[in-house]
Structure 1
């Protein structure tokens, strides 16, 4: 019975979102993106600009920016934009494109775009100081030290038993003792504090546990009774407490540069948490969504947020309650993915975004 119910729920979900998914997979057959009427012919990139903001200057559908970007074939990282670059609007071979002016105007952009490329002439460009897709300062905390793990795995790891000085709270420079599976002497380990548990709203199934690294320690000794001595060598703004877990530091797999693109996830999703807030999110905020790598989500994916329509009464039909259609209320971009959960940055919002708001790939038309 459980299998059939899950199958039915999946079928209903896929039916509800199928039309939006068809739009994302068939984009090649859609018209070219529309350039804004007030798009600048010339724009000088400034420090503090983001790729999303620049795209929004030229397109109503900012997530389609790659379709109008004149990629330089002589550059290994052709999508990077830097402060003081001069962007110009050009019509090349009947298409309206944006490129970086090298001093020759649109003729130079066309030369970069269609010129023959010899392997030895390709220039490798650094990602350092390039314009980010979104403000890195807004997402740094959720990139560096916060991860989603399997709760069952987390609960099998060694835990902080006590500190050398028997303090309840410890930090960098202190010695602490962990109990559990013996750790390797000389090895660095992370100390993680347990945070939010994530539950799939429709099934109430636990899909992840959020944990935050609060310190890094070096194992100095192990005892036969399972107690390990750890010297804390770095702390990250929070105290190490009894009960915190210890395991190998998990590396950051986020690409150094990512670009906003329409999501190609295999189902719709919803906002399951508003980070650092008890209510709603607005532009510049961070939310957790129930779409992860297992659903095809990846850094750079853009999703439209839909707010459920209000329930009204039909006065000509005996006050029968009628649910109005869901309406778009904003857009988010995924920047960090885990198996079943992702963190996403709020690109824009017409209305406050709330837990339970639905997510779909943005339409092209």
Structure 2
């Protein structure tokens, strides 16, 4: 349903970085031609530097006291620690040296435009020839481990998964928003724009009278499906599907409303989207099951896939799905389920279809991990898939 919109704002699903790909230490925005205008030969700039206020996920220093031989760099669109190490130190593999001096950056994958970076130019590498041969010959996927190398496990669930997570509200979207005390986006700085992206200014309901403070973060929500019906049948709908769109940060709270910056989004943000309080999600390391041989033994009450993101019929690795079993069935966040499809086949040669005897078996489709649980439903992220997972397929423990 929203695929064209995501293409318009540049959806970044490919940001899931394998632990060995240091070159994927991405800033939050795409590279722009203006980045090429940066100085070619850095020069030290000792002294005190005041940092302009800006939207960032990190608690950046407001004043920099630069030691002799150091330089400050203000992050621009497209910057990465990998690229900054190559530019200032002459060696992209030296990015941990920059991170070491800027420990307020909690995750080197994310540096934000406007963030201040301190770089010790004494650590620079004058020429590629001065880099040991066993380093210059390395590719990002076969670097040795060591104290200066950040070893990151493959994640089954990360922040970028969180901000595009769908979930089922059985009571209906309106009742859910009311129960959460949700605010709304009512306008934006550039009123002619219908679809908004990262870094843009928006206006919201909810101000100091409602307890909103400067720096507060909110998850942006949107209703994407109403009265979802189960493939199992039944007269009553399962509920409404709500999609998490992104996160914004309040920069100027007023009495009854606030000015905010869209901090991160994987889909376009729109006027009318709802806002609920943000809680930092936990990353969950990948843990795959090995009992994947056919036929797959089904639990007594397997879950069924009832929704695929963007109402897609087929889903694959990395996609998020909703199933019709939740905490009432004993499911919890972190459970890894096997996706299974039943298959009937004939075991007789009767010509009449009615008289043909059949047997039913199951075969393995993939694995999915529970990432959000409601009493009667759960959201899962597909970890691995050998073939497409469809609405109506089963998930079992």
Could you tell me the TM-score, scaled by structure 2's length?
0.47
1:214 alignment counterpart: 246
Q: 2:182 aligns with which of 123, 137, 157?
A: 157
Q: Which runs of 5+ in 2 are unaligned?
A: 1-18, 22-140, 292-297
Per-residue CA deviations over 1:25-60 (Å, capped at 9, x if unaligned) read: xxxxxxxxxxxxxxxxxxxxx958xxxxxxxxxxxx
Q: 1:278 to 1:175 in 2, by over 3 A?
A: closer
Q: Distance in 2 between matches of 1:229 and 1:47?
A: 41
Where do 1:112-261 residues align within 5 Å? 129-132=151-154, 141-148=160-167, 150=169, 151=173, 152-155=175-178, 157-167=182-192, 168-171=194-197, 172-178=199-205, 182-197=210-225, 199-202=229-232, 203=234, 204-207=236-239, 209-218=241-250, 220-223=252-255, 227-232=256-261, 234-255=263-284, 257-261=285-289
RMSD: 4.4
Please state how far the C-alpha of 1:352 moved relative to its aligned partner. Answer: 3.4
Structure 2 residue 338 is matched with structure 1 residue 303: yes
Give the count of matched residue pairs: 237
Structure 2 residue 312 is matched with structure 1 residue 290: no
Q: 1:288 to 1:248 in 2, by over 3 A?
A: same
Q: Distance in 1 between matches of 2:200 and 2:305?
A: 39
2:83 alignment counterpart: none
Please state how far the C-alpha of 1:327 moved relative to its aligned partner. Answer: 2.4
2:54 alignment counterpart: none
| 1:325 alignment partner, SS class | strand
Q: Is the 8 A contact 2:218 2:276 kept in 1?
A: yes
Where do 1:325-344 residues align within 5 Å? 325-339=360-374, 340-344=377-381
Q: Distance in 2 between matches of 1:85 and 1:293?
A: 43
Mean CA deviation greater in 315-324 or 148-157: 315-324
Q: Is the 8 A contact 1:192 1:215 kept in 2?
A: yes
Structure 2 residue 293 is matched with structure 1 residue 268: no
Q: 1:317 to 1:161 in 2, by over 3 A?
A: same
Per-residue CA deviations over 1:57-96 (Å, capped at 9, x if unaligned) read: xxxxxxxxxxxxxxxxxxxxxxxxx98899xxxxxxxxxx
